[in-house]
Amino acid sequence: MEAEQLKTPVCGGDDNVNNSEKEKTKTALMRAFVERRDPDAKEVDNLTLRRFLRARDLDIEKASAMFLKYLKWKKTAVPNGFVSETDIQNELAQTKVFMQGRDKAGRPIGVVFGAKHFYSTREMDEFKRFVVYVLDKLCASMPGGQEKFVGIVDLQGWGYSNCDIRGYIAALDIMQNYYPERLGKAYMVHVPYLFMKAWKIIYPFIDNNTRKKIVFVENKNLKATLMKDIEESQIPQTYGGELPLIPIEKSTM
């Protein structure tokens, strides 16, 4: 990359510029750079560019490389701009992802049941499309001013037949590289001891920013932990709250 074109101009010293102004300036510089490399960048709003910047600690060069890779990926992974439910029928039939309610910050809540995912029936390309579908649905349900979602990953009944290391890594790759700064928090609940063996394999593929957002919850503290961030009226009934679980494809949030 042309490093000299990516430097932030110095006006009285960086120390005198607040974070918001830094981000605004760097977003403008990043936009100018990526639009020269890919005209499709003109269709992307500043909030999206800012998320890529934040994911790379405001390093314009690294964020630009990440964003341009995203544009290239999107053209092949989501050529129509969205994933049709007809292209993920096997995944939807497993009824393993639900979406309803919001936390106290207004972030939509997604619930994933790991024991309903089976490695033996998973077809990787369809699974990747399903991950994109889920992330797009969560993002589309965010109210104005909110850019993140919350996930509850329920591993009740999870066993060897559900263990899908390649699938988990593929899902992480999509979320971290193409939907940066979208995850607000992930609660890992009903985690069996067996899962921790898989976790040790997955963990190196999780970036530091994502690791900070993952919380393992003890069964005895489940409802109390959720209620720190979520009102009881917005917690799924299965965790002691008031909302019924709604399959993500039927959610109208």
- The CATH number covering residue 172 comes to 3.40.525.10
Q: At 93, which helix (H) or strand (E)?
A: helix 89-93
Q: Are residues 101 and 154 in the same domain?
A: yes
CA angle 205, 207, 209 (to 5 degrees): 155
- Given a cut of 80, is residue 4 above it in pLDDT? no
Q: What is the pLDDT of residues 21-41, one digit of tens each?
A: 999 999 999 999 999 999 999
User: What's the whole-model pTM score?
Assistant: 0.91
Q: How many domains does the chain have?
A: 2
Average pLDDT over residues 133-155: 97
Q: Are residues 38 and 162 in the same domain?
A: no
Q: What is the pLDDT of residues 147-200, one digit of tens each?
A: 999 999 999 999 999 999 999 999 999 999 999 999 999 999 999 999 999 999
- Given a cut of 90, is residue 19 above it in pLDDT? no
d(CA 64, CA 178): 12
Select from 92, 84, 83, 90 the least CA-distant residue to 250. 92
Domain membership flag for residue 47: yes
The pLDDT confidence band at residue 236, using thresholds 50, 70 and 90, is: very high
Listing DSSP states for 147-214 in one string gives: --EEEEEE-TT--GGG--HHHHHHHHHHHHHHSTT-EEEEEEES--TTHHHHHHHHGGGS-HHHHTTE
Question: Under a CB-based contact definition with an 8 Å cutoff, are residues 94 and 232 in contact?
Answer: no
- Residue 18 is predicted with a pLDDT of 73
Coil vs helix vs strand at 224 = helix
Q: What is the pLDDT of residues 197-226, one digit of tens each?
A: 999 999 999 999 999 999 999 999 999 999
Cα dist. 238→79, 153, 166 in Å?
A: 37, 13, 29
Q: Are residues 219 and 132 in the same domain?
A: yes
Q: Are residues 114 and 148 in the same domain?
A: yes
Q: At 75, which helix (H) or strand (E)?
A: helix 60-77
User: Which of 32, 50, 77 lies at the terminal end of a domain, its last residue?
Assistant: 77
How many other C-beta atoms can be found within 10 angstroms of the C-beta atom of residue 189? 21
Residues 6 or more apart whose CB falls under 8 angstroms from that of 7 comprise none
- Residue 147 is predicted with a pLDDT of 97
Q: Are residues 138 and 27 in the same domain?
A: no
Listing DSSP states for 111-125 in one string gives: EEEGGG--GGG--HH
Domain membership flag for residue 253: no
Q: Are residues 124 and 191 in the same domain?
A: yes
Q: What is the pLDDT of residues 107-132, one digit of tens each?
A: 999 999 999 999 999 999 999 999 99
User: Which of 49, 77, 105 lies at the terminal end of a domain, its last residue?
Assistant: 77
For 205, the domain range is 85-248
